[in-house]
Structure formats: C-alpha cells, structure tokens
Structure 1
C-alpha cells in the first residue's frame, strides 16, 4: 500500500483556514489534479497504474463538475425568474387561494421556501397556485 503525503503546507494553518475547510468540504478540479499528481509521484515504478484509469477518472470528475456547474446556473436562473415575477406583482391586487385575505401587493419576499406577498394591510400571502392577481 502506498502512502500519499500531504499536497500542501499544513503546519501553519490557522483557525480561519480550518473553518474555511469545514465550510467547503467538497473537492474541486484543482484538488483532484493535486491528488492525481501525488498518486503518480508515489506509485510503484515497477508496477505503474494504467493510464486509461487516470483518463477515465478525469472524464468522470469533469462530468460531475459540469453537472454541478449546470445546477448552479439553473438555480441562479430560477432566482432571477422569481425576482422578475415578483417585480411585476407590486401594485397589483391579490386575493389568497381561499379568498380569505386580499389587498394590494406592496412588496414581495423571496426565500428558499418560495415567494410571499406583503400586502398594504400588513398581511402576508404565500404565492402559490390559486392566488388571484388583478388590477385595482
């Protein structure tokens, strides 16, 4: 079994560095390349690893990284769409799906659970299916 030495200087890490590493516990492409280089440097010269395995690992990692990037871009697109939709609601009358709450939309709050309209009477209505928007 081959032991792979650390790829960076760990003797001078601070608490801030440790906290950053805890927050970001995923590997990126550069981390993968560092690990691969360390593996290449420390492999048994009499029994080297097959190069096709390295190419396969790089292709798989690249595919996963592209998927992560795509998801991040889709998340941003969804946020932009919600903001655009929210901006068009301000000033319109809104009635909740059950008809119990109505008023004029003064602002819209967007968070991880969805969008909520804040009405001129101080009441809040979650913007879901069935909510009716109209002109005053």
Structure 2
C-alpha cells in the first residue's frame, strides 16, 4: 500500500504504524487510500488478505473506537466479498462447512455472520480416483440406495449425468471415488456391477448419513453376496455445499 505523507514509512506489516505517526495523519485520509487501492487492485491478483488483516489490526491497536472498528470491519468484509465473487464460475477443491470434501463450480456467494460463503450445487458423480485399490480394469455401473422413515427405498445413479451412464476404469489396481452423495436419514448402501450385465452387488455402506463421499477399492471377487433386490425409486438429487474462503484449496479458473 502507498505511503501516507507525513508518516515517513509505508503502512504495511513490515513498517508498523506508531502512535506518534498516527497523530500526524488523518484517519479519513488513511481509509481513503486503503479503499482506493482495494478498488483499483487487479481482480485476478488481489491484495493478500493476511496483509490487509495486519494493517487493520495495527489501526485497531491505535484507535479502538466503535465507529473505527466498524469501518475497518467493513473494509475487510468488502475485500473478502471481492475475493469470493471472483471465484464464481471457477472450479475449486475445498472442505465444506459440514466437513465434506468437495470439488465443483462455485455458483453464487452469500454473506453469513459477517463472512462470505461460496455455494456449490453438485450432482452425485463417480470418477476414477488417484488412490490405488483393487478394482479391475473394465466398465462399471453404481447405485447408492437408502430408505426413508417409511421404509421406502430410493436410489441414485452417480453416472446419470454422463453420456454413457457407465464408468470406464483403464487399469487394474484402481479405485473409484463416489462424491456429492445426498444427505439421508438412514445408512447409504453402495452397489456395483459390470456395465449392462448381472446383478448389483454390495460394495459397502456409509453409516454417517451426512457423509457425501465413498471410495470403492474392492476387487470383484471380494464383493458381498448381497445383491440389490426390488426396484428402488431412482431420483436425481442435487446437493448444495457451503464453503468458507479459508477452506478453499486448489482453484481452477473458468475456461482453463
């Protein structure tokens, strides 16, 4: 950030503002300079939030009036909202506020408890995972099945949105990640079969009804003898995940 005339130093974490220097400057001028720099910054390379927080902390140390605290909080919130809105349309890897590992496109931004929140509306999906496993090369179909409080069975096809409706595994010793699974009130059962043939055999289950992911690393010979019976009502749920900025990992901008 630019130096403020009369202070003899720049207002950053390496040159803390002293009380003597503060007495020589007008707070209004400081805020005007800060806001102007935020407004003119490169949206694809914004100021590091840690730098901004450091500057605001210095100002709070010098003057702790309610009005000034409110003003500084507003500046920080504005910076965070700017960072969040720049992520709309980008694909991110993150941990959601309910502790789920998610990957998807940021659809919109909201503000809750004074902090911006990223919203991802995601369909269930199945992908070959980086983790090694025992799944053989081939093509597979999956069903995730659960019951409601009336004992009625429902199912999700995590490949429903793909053109082929099946997952191709290229190599032996692979594993499959099922993600964005719906929140349920009972245990979710995971079934698998070779694409287009035979019964769906039980792979495993998710007892945590809020958990949205499952890794299948089971060889065909090790599948359970329990097969999917009946015809569960198949639905196409979309689950909304809410993510805080601090929990965003990798970012892939739109179009890349």
- Does TM, scored on the shorter chain, surpass 0.5? no
Q: Which has the higher strand share?
A: 2
TM-score tier, shorter chain, comes to 0.3 to 0.5
